[in-house]
Amino acid sequence: MEKIEVEILGLSSTSSGGGAYALLLKEVFGVRRLPIIIGTFEAQSIALELEGIKPPRPLTHDLLKSMIDNLGGVVKEVLINDLRENTFYGKIIIEVSGFTNEVDSRPSDAIALAVRAKVPIYVAEHVMEQAGIIPSSEEELDRLEEEQSQSEGLKGSRETKVAALQDQLRKAIEVEDYERAAKIRDAIKKITGQRN
């Protein structure tokens, strides 16, 4: 499987409600970006580590890293390896006693662990092709943001809007509201400049 190294470009709240956050990943050696909707706890855990803030007691991800370290394991990397039905899937690659183990994980938890272990974050090429965004010119970006803000009532960056819309799309599909899902899909395509 071909994989692409990414870095965390930003983290911002979404207007979709429910305390969701958009985590924006960017190719290290490219321009594509990948927005992922994550929960409040995971966003806080990632943000605290990125800011170098140490809580008085270990958070769950700190505990997980300590357990791996104390058991003689080493986190080697994390990978966002799949996207099915608008849900991202991840793996944590751990080496213990010369053996490599892949542990299934939500991407948000894997990334929270990766920032603590200071290991690379990868995205499978097929996931980046499926959900990645290529930024367009600033003028076009501003026009699309204004149109989308007016039509959907969303605020924030283009990537945050796409992430929020992807979350809305997933929810519409879950409740089988396919007409709304089609409209949301078209809005995503309009923002990202994708053609049918």
Spell out the domains of the chain, with CATH numbers in brackets: 3-131 (3.10.690.10), 138-190 (no CATH)
Q: Are 122 and 3 in contact (CB under 8 A)?
A: yes
Phi, psi of 154 (to 5 degrees): -100, 150
Q: What is the C-alpha separation between 76 and 26, in angstroms, rounded?
A: 20
Q: What is the C-alpha separation between 105 and 161, in angstroms, rounded?
A: 25
Helix intervals (H) in the chain = 40-50, 60-70, 107-117, 125-131, 138-152, 158-174, 178-192
- CB burial of 70-81 (b: ≥16 within 10 Å; e: otherwise) equals eeebebebbbbb
Does the pLDDT value for residue 150 go beyond 50? no
Which of 48-57, 72-81, 88-97, 144-153 is the least confident region?
144-153
| pLDDT score at 143 | 45
| pLDDT score at 123 | 97
Query: Which residues touch 103 (CB under 8 Å, ≥6 apart)?
Result: 91, 92, 93, 94
| pLDDT score at 145 | 47
Q: Which residue has the higher pLDDT, 195 or 120?
A: 120
Half-sphere exposure (CA, 13 Å, Cβ side) for 87?
8
| pLDDT score at 118 | 97
Q: Which residue has the higher pLDDT, 27 or 13?
A: 27
Q: What is the C-alpha separation between 103 and 71, in angstroms, rounded?
A: 15
| pLDDT score at 162 | 75
Most confident stretch, 38-42, 112-116, 189-193: 112-116
